[in-house]
Amino acid sequence: MRARPLVALTAATLLAVLLAGCSGDKTAEPDVPPPVDLCASAAPAGTVSDAVVVDGAVGSPASVSLAPPLAITSTERTVVVEGAGDPVDSASLVDYAVTVFDALTGAQVQSQGYDGAPILPTPAANIGQLIGCAPVGSRVVVAVAGTDQEGPTVRVIDVLGVRPGVATGADQERAEGMPTVALTDSGAPIVTVPGGEPPAETEVAVLKSGDGAVVAPGDSVMVHYAGVRWSDGTVFDSSWSKGAPTVLVTTEVIAGYKEALEGQTVGSQVLVVIPPASAYGEGTINEDDLSGETLVFVVDILATLPAVP
């Protein structure tokens, strides 16, 4: 892996970004869906969720009193403790803990997110039906109907914290010769690929330097990313277009992506250019797959969870 020398983003460079279409450069911006209204997404309270009695402090494993078997036909949600912390919005990541009970027997089947059982945060938009816009410090009881894969459950969810859904590290100087990156209001990257031949080896530049945990080999890493083809500047994959960050294991991605993640810190935004040999292999560039393509990724590193020994 080779790191590019850094240079200041001058007024001339900014102008070049704006005029990229006139210089042979190629600019791509991922489609980003509109924000989710978490308050409107929340499931309503119901007779089952209202009847569950919860013991224990927010932030510690819950115990419940219920009368199984419970007949749950649709998702119900009751806020049993209203927190006084920061509000949750659809762009946030939520740190949470959950205790899950079998609605047919009343037995506890899972507890995670408390001391000794860390989990990654989750995008607020992904659990809007369950927590709504409950602020930090809230405890929510959710009754969930069964599916073909899982029986009905009662879940006690503690909203422990919120964190940004984008990289918030300190801005770094631009890397000379690399693609340029601008950000939309939502934080999605607009990538401009320069004209000319791509580099022959993986090159990484840190655009924002975070001060969080260091990503280690084998970690599960929550990222927001956009992937662009060097050949034509088009977006071929993007978590932004899917509406939420995703989780990757560093040892289960292409070699160039692995190099770009490991050793970086949470809160960082990383730009990486990956040649075919460290991506999807050599071949003739085509519309069906990524063989032969040099790939450009802009990656926001939002959280990391060490591999279980």
Q: How many domains does the chain fold into?
A: 2
Of the chain, the end-to-end C-alpha distance in Å amounts to: 27
Mean pLDDT calculated for residue range 217-222:
98
pLDDT surpasses 90 at 22:
no
Where residue 267 falls (left for φ over 0; alpha for ψ -120 to 50; beta otherwise) is: left
> Tokens in use for 147?
């599916």
> What pLDDT score was predicted for residue 23?
53
Range of the domain at 109: 38-163
Residues 135-182: pLDDT tens digits?
A: 999 999 999 999 999 999 999 999 999 999 999 999 999 888 899 999
- Residue 24: which pLDDT band, with cuts at 50, 70 and 90? low
Q: Tell me, what's the pLDDT at 47?
A: 97
Same domain, 47 and 153: yes
Q: What percent of the chain has pLDDT over 70?
A: 92
Is residue 97 domain-shared with residue 246, that is, in the same domain?
Answer: no
Give pLDDT tens digits for 33-63. Answer: 999 999 999 999 999 999 999 999 999 999 9
Please, which residues bridge with residue 206 across strands? 270
* 226, 144: one domain: no
172 and 108 belong to one structural domain: no
Same domain, 22 and 43: no
Per the model's pLDDT, the better-predicted residue between 14 and 304 turns out to be 304
Average pLDDT for residues 238-253, to the nearest whole number? 96
**205 and 295 assigned to the same domain:** yes
| pLDDT reading at 5 higher than 50 | no
pLDDT band of residue 25 (cuts 50, 70, 90) is confident
Q: Which pLDDT value is given to residue 69?
A: 97
- Scored b (16 or more CB within 10 A) or e, 162-176 reads bbebbbbbeebebbe
pLDDT of residue 11 exceeding 90? no
Gap between the Cα atoms of 110 and 87, Å rounded: 27
For residue 126, the 8-state DSSP code is G
The most confident of the ranges 16-30, 115-129, 170-184, 262-276 is: 262-276
Strand 295-305 and strand 220-229: the pairing is: antiparallel
Please report which confidence band the pLDDT of residue 285 belongs to, taking 50, 70 and 90 as the band edges.
Answer: confident
Do 172 and 295 fall within a single domain? Answer: yes
CATH code (residue 15): 3.10.50.40
Domain boundary among the residues 140, 163, 186 is at: 163
Q: Which residue has the higher pLDDT, 19 or 205?
A: 205
Q: State the pLDDT at residue 180.
A: 96
Give the mean pLDDT of 295-300: 98
Is a pLDDT exceeding 60 seen at residue 16? Answer: no
Q: Looking at residues 193-205, what average pLDDT do you find? A: 95
User: Are residues 150 and 213 located together in one domain of the fold?
Assistant: no
* Cβ-Cβ contacts under 8 Å for 18 (sequence gap 6 or more): none
